Amino acid sequence: MLKENGCPCESGRVYADCCAPWHQGTAATTPEQLMRSRYSAFVLGLHDYLLATWHATTRPETLVDEEPVRWLGLKIKQAHVNGVNGEVEFIARYKIAGKAWKLHERSRFVYEEGRWYYLDGEMLNT
């Protein structure tokens, strides 16, 4: 759900000027941009986008929402690029059945054929 036209990724920008272009096919230019757009895609239920930006070697066949998730916010802790590899550490807050949770992950990204792709992630303790 969009917060008064603000982008779900909490960049402080309007969705149309932030994650919307990526969701419509423009390639993200950094791993952090891709991470933010993927978070927004989870919020908005854009499963096709999530699968399209997931690297083919680690991508699941489908995404299934087992329980309704209400996404509450995203905080980027740090982001690094080293050539064709990138990492983004983030904390995403969400609720399932009224209970609050945090997902703290260090995600790995790879740049191939002019696009960044999510490769995998390591869960971190918060």
- For 45-54, the pLDDT digits (tens) are 999 999 999 9
What confidence score (pLDDT) does residue 100 get? 95
Q: Give the domains, in start order, of the chain with CATH numbers.
A: 15-123 (3.10.450.50)
pLDDT reported for residue 84: 97
114 φψ region: left (φ > 0), alpha (ψ -120 to 50), beta (else): left
What single-letter DSSP state applies at residue 54? B
CA distance 57 to 66: 23
69 has a pLDDT exceeding 70: yes
Percentage of the chain beyond pLDDT 70 is: 95
Q: How far apart are CA 72 and CA 1, in angstroms?
A: 10
Residue 13 has pLDDT above 90, yes or no: yes
Helix (H) / strand (E) element for 47: namely: helix 47-52
**Is the predicted pLDDT of residue 56 greater than 60, yes or no?**
yes
What would the two tokens of residue 51 be?
A: 């699968």
> How does pLDDT run across 73-94, given as a tens digit for each residue?
999 999 999 999 999 999 999 9
Return the exposure string of 21-51: e unless at least 16 CB atoms fall within 10 Å of the residue's CB, then b. Answer: ebbeeeebeebbbbbbbbbbbbbbebeebbe
Q: What is the pLDDT of residue 66?
A: 73
